[in-house]
Structure 1
Amino acid sequence: MKAFLKHAVALTLLAGVVGCSSTDENEAALPAELVDFTPVMEADVVWDRWAGDGTEGKWLQLKPAVSGDSVFVCDSDGDCYSYDRHTGDKQWHTDVDLRVSGGVGAGNGYVALGTLDGELVVLNAEDGSEAFRKKLTSEILSSPGIKDNLLVAQAQNGHVYGFSLETQEQIWHYDASLPLLSLRGTADPVITDKVTYASFANGKVVALSNDSGSTLWEKRISIPSGKSDLEKLSDVDGTPFVTFDTMYAVGFNGFIRAVDLFSGRTRWQKEFSSYVGPGFGFGQVYLSLDNGHLVALDDRSSSVNWKLEDLSNRRLTKPVTMGNYVIVGDFEGYLHFVSQLSGTFADRIRIDSYGLISDPVVVGDMLYIYSSDGTLAAVKIQEDS
């Protein structure tokens, strides 16, 4: 039977798989205190709403999804909401009465979510009514992906399913062979026009045909090493970032790799470890390392352009970009705005005190974030000075 580490336990390993023994090393693993700086821009919460109870202490990355003029989110108890993404006006609320653990995904008039019991539930985006549901093989910890007529859902046990939204039937299935022990989490499937990219706890990313689910190529991102099962953890839990010709993927205890989308060939690689996906902007790839450092790499040469170490061990979210800034959340509920050019702090705001776990979502000039206590916030950069 497959065993999974609780993410909270896994976080104790992030400063190094082998536990620290000395007092100095233990102190070095403590979260860094926030440093003072002079803001050079202003980021404000445009609106925030209470959207259920969040994750209620569970380590679940329940992120919002945007489609059209609406933003959707579900809490872990199954309360799902739709808001006008510009004004924050509530459009509907529905209770699916399920233990939601993966979600949400939205597109083509639908909202999709997954549960701890392995159920894929699809709602109508217009009113929140249920369109259909499917039983998968294990719990779903990632957001389902929707593009055109295709819905892709990935279960924690390595099974990936493609469904037709038109017929509501399964059209393909892929099964990955996974290790006995892994971090508790799953990267979201990334769907492009013709290909779906799925990431797994075996350290691989696989390119699958949208039409048939057949394997086009697979690439190992992380290579298991060490003597113990803990030291061999090599999950790709962070969702890769895909450009028009390159996929950037990073693994735990592994590498960041730039992979040619068409051939699966590695363009470059660098040894870094992260449990969240990379960001991209200004010709740079951004990484929130598992030790809390924020790194900017040149997207062509892989050279380190800058590194910010002032957020050490603050359990950073996936980095996202908006305007001139790269943005990360942390375990105390702060959003940090950092210059893409210099790697220096530009502003800092607090969403709540319960912490930010899920990936921020940027659409246009607005960032959406769902906090652990159930706050859905829309954030905008107001001005540069």
Structure 2
Amino acid sequence: MLYYILFIVLTITFFSDCLCIAHEKKTFTQLSLLNIHNQYRLTKLWSIAIGHGIAKYYSNLHPICQDTNIFIAHRDGIIKKIDINSGKTIWKIDLSFSIEGRKLSSSPILLSGGITFANDKIYIGSELAKVYAICAKTGAVIWKTEVMGEVLSSPVISNGSVLIHTSTGVFQALNECDGSIQWTVSFDVPLFSLRNKPSPVKFLDMVLLSHDDGTLSALLLNQGKLLWQQKITTVNELKQFFYLNSITTTPIIINDVVYAQSYNDSLVALDIYSGQIIWSLKDISSIKNMVAVNFVLYLIDQNDQIIAVNAHDGAILWKQDNLLYKELTVPGIYNNYIVIGDRKGYIYLIDINDGSIFLQQKICSSEILRSIIVENKCIIQLRKNRVYGFLL
């Protein structure tokens, strides 16, 4: 009877919080277009189509660059290698077809985890628990391996292993040459979690994993042995069963310090060797994206506020709140500017020193999914079926 009453109380608490969140979301108002006097404009170099668009599906797909080439992927299984200067396609493959052109599957491949380049190969995972290794020069599929869960983040390559962290809490190391499974480590997954999985982060001979229960783990790369675990969520155990505690942003390492945050909780700095917390920053919303330059962390929270934080002590340096609720993308860094896009097709340049907006330019009418900075070029992937190259 006691357990039944406890269950009812926790359920009411959980759904009450959900209703409060839903009510708060109704009060959000999109800010009007800013009055920015642009001193220069981005120059369009090229654009190409890829696939049929991602619609409203969750996706961590994004372009990557290697030398003068860009690799881009589409959810349906299409991967292209293009020249960064001209936008011309060097090769194109469709993973739903065999080498002979035979249709392998009538359903989409559901690529989702982002591309990784290493040792003349590219690696990518899918929602169907598959990992692919592809020759970067020719586009030929070298191997395909089934893993224990959806692959929602980019693979990490280290010491001959392809490291995969799946949606089921399983961490696996695959042989880089043939895709065979070298070892597997399983972690508990809470009842509730967000559909997001940060990539593993390697450091010397260890790898850091982010878990859905707000825990950060450090493992030895060559065998998966656990070195330390640290709980970075501050939610008490009574409520923890129903609360979202996932670490949703890939941690950043600067020198010997790790920076991470669990959902709707403090940003923390931890010692990389022991996992001990050095400092924590409270009273900030959940972080969607995070980059670092010269010991300054640049954060984008769930409301699209941009925050600069001193990495040494957690002091807030500045905030930019003129872009609230615009669904900002992962930021890139170009010289002294943060480069970022939004769901209306705008690109912004934000001064890293004070957070002022230097440029606001509409480049398309579609939502910008991701952008990357390569020297003086900005490569932009849309949620629809196009990729653009711009000169900064």
Aligned pair partner of 1:356 in 344, 364, 368:
368
Correspondence for 2:184? 173
Q: Determine if contact 1:225/1:232 at 8 Å carries over to the other structure.
A: no
- For 2:46 and 2:260, the matched residues in 1 are separated by 33
Correspondence for 2:60? 61
How far residue 167 of structure 1 moved from its aligned partner, in angstroms, is: 4.5
Moved more, 41-50 or 111-120: 41-50
Correspondence for 2:349? 337
Correspondence for 1:210? 221
**Using a 3 Å threshold, how does the CA distance of structure 1 residues 169 and 232 change in structure 2: closer, same or farther?**
same
Give the 5 Å matches for 1:1-385. Answer: 18-19=19-20, 25=24, 28-97=27-96, 98-147=109-158, 149-224=160-235, 232-271=243-282, 272-358=284-370, 360-381=371-392
- For 2:223 and 2:241, the matched residues in 1 are separated by 35
- For 1:65 and 1:152, the matched residues in 2 are separated by 18
**Using a 3 Å threshold, how does the CA distance of structure 1 residues 21 and 144 change in structure 2: closer, same or farther?**
closer
- For 1:350 and 1:209, the matched residues in 2 are separated by 46
Instruction: Give the TM-score normalised by structure 1.
Output: 0.86
How far residue 248 of structure 1 moved from its aligned partner, in angstroms, is: 1.8
Instruction: Give the TM-score normalised by structure 2.
Output: 0.85
**Using a 3 Å threshold, how does the CA distance of structure 1 residues 115 and 87 change in structure 2: closer, same or farther?**
same
- For 1:26 and 1:274, the matched residues in 2 are separated by 15
Structure number with bigger Rg: 2
Matched positions, count = 364
Percent identity between the two aligned chains = 22
Q: Determine if contact 1:223/1:234 at 8 Å carries over to the other structure.
A: no
- For 1:317 and 1:226, the matched residues in 2 are separated by 33
CA RMSD of aligned residues (A): 2.5
**Using a 3 Å threshold, how does the CA distance of structure 1 residues 37 and 152 change in structure 2: closer, same or farther?**
same
- For 2:234 and 2:365, the matched residues in 1 are separated by 37
- For 1:331 and 1:222, the matched residues in 2 are separated by 30
**Using a 3 Å threshold, how does the CA distance of structure 1 residues 361 and 245 change in structure 2: closer, same or farther?**
farther
How far residue 253 of structure 1 moved from its aligned partner, in angstroms, is: 1.1
How far residue 35 of structure 1 moved from its aligned partner, in angstroms, is: 1.3
3-state SS, counterpart of residue 48 of structure 2: strand
3-state SS, counterpart of residue 111 of structure 1: strand
3-state SS, counterpart of residue 322 of structure 2: coil
- For 2:368 and 2:235, the matched residues in 1 are separated by 29
Letter in 2 for 1:362: I
Letter in 2 for 1:39: N
Which has the higher relative contact order, 1 or 2, with Cα contacts under 8 A spaced 6 or more apart? 1
Task: Extract unaligned runs of 5+ from structure 1.
Answer: 1-15
**Using a 3 Å threshold, how does the CA distance of structure 1 residues 84 and 222 change in structure 2: closer, same or farther?**
farther
- For 1:229 and 1:316, the matched residues in 2 are separated by 29
